[in-house]
Structure 1
């Protein structure tokens, strides 16, 4: 069910808002929360009913891990083992659905085998709800999470506005809001603000992203007919398509959340204004950057273990970021290049500081624009063909 579909705008969303606030109005707070969970699962299962089995199984496993962590909170070694097992289970599910065919294709290429592809349907949003649940059990192990009912936990994981494409939220950004009875009441200001945000996001998606997308699709299907000018036009079109599409979706998610009196974190902050690649990642997909920083970069040592270790940690994070976005070598290359540019920015920070801001912006925007080609292309050769034409 797409946010820009008639069934969502005219049926699902009004029904969800009216039903949720009606139950809360009569003091049926648990019923209202359960209704929100059912609506979220309906939204998710609308794409493919089999997806429900995946997300429900994932939630039950992680909630069980969470309860075990709480039960053995005083036994650090055991708790660490439970956390490790939980993370492995989460990553195992993610790898099975998202990366197995990628691994099989590489095994076949390296060892000249003919293993059959699994051709498993990728559950939508699995990367998002997997990361949210890993963050939850990790925070529970750190002693930061109180005891929560499964209903509230399930709503945190499956909350439909941000389930498919983010923003990636943490438990403390959602569950306390679900428990706040003041937020159970209709708020006219929030409703109006939410409608405005949703409309802005919808306009970004339909009027801008989809139009740029037509140019991109035509360009990538007629590469042999492009020249330098049209190749540049295709590259720039995708740069704006992915921004307006992704940020538009997040604006719609924030708008729906606001209609329900739920505040979701900002995920984009004018990323193409960035003067450095570091600033770009402080502005682009901000909740993903936050996740990698808190749960991978800092545990690896962050910038506290010397420069060489810092640079290695940056490269590891961006390699994982590339893989998180997709199961292909294009994404790995894209992530690695961003990591290398990030390291170079730190190595030569004094040099970059001396440059005019306009030149820094041009270098950053040009790099991001070129790298998006590898993000969009179906194959590495397709990406390099467009780059050569440009």
Structure 2
């Protein structure tokens, strides 16, 4: 029997060589499905080292957070939420125009035991996340908490924040809303009085969780409308994210834009204007009270003679002549008599006779001439 041609034998060999390159990997398959992918340069490293985290299939120009988290697997996610991650040593990265990124991440022990993952999630916009298995060398490993069988709650649709601000919120009162959503029991047992966790996060910070209990019973396949109160601190403003978690799993997230309390700003502006004005007025009052008061020396006003009342006169008539001033009384010194005074008759060299024509006491008659 003749041997087979060499070309026939080379075909299977080439197929075996090219087969690993032709099979799509898990990351490539996830990228083909439109899901984000995360790959690590190392699957294990010790504390103090660093690894390179790469990703693809993300939205372009999106801010991502990279964290090392414990008690997590890619299948179940991070059981305890971001509270199980090393948040202080996380890193942020922005994807390029094609949705790719590459960033160095320091290796830090998470606050809970492993199994651990490198958790990558969007910080803003629509929610998207991906996990990659990672082992922190020297960190304890414990099995994940068993999933409780029976009832399982899931948020269906129509998650929103109801409510609006008030005048008090404009002046710095705590903003409050109501987180309303429809929840359904997709398990096989009833769920009675479930306790949800509502978290509020400002920007890229980790959310602060508060327990909210809903009173009621949900049987298998049933759904109900749930409303939970949400409240921020006084004076809060900016972009917030309200998250809903049940059973260690985040069920929904809702953005919340809180306006700035401009009433507080107006109050401080008025305070800066009123307080200096009040201090200035008080200072003027103090200076006016403290300064010495001297009696003003004013010259005595000369007494003016009383004016005679004006008599009414008709138009065209001449005004009456002014009255003569009253004669000034002749005051004489006490040691002179009217007859012996310097201006009296006894003081003259020669006293005129009454019949003398030049006597000042005798009236001058017209037509009569005196002797010279």
TM-score, with length taken from structure 2: 0.25
TM-score, with length taken from structure 1: 0.25
- The answer to which structure has the higher helix fraction is 1
Of structures 1 and 2, the larger Rg is shown by: 2
Q: Larger relative CO (CA 8 A, sep 6+): 1 or 2?
A: 1
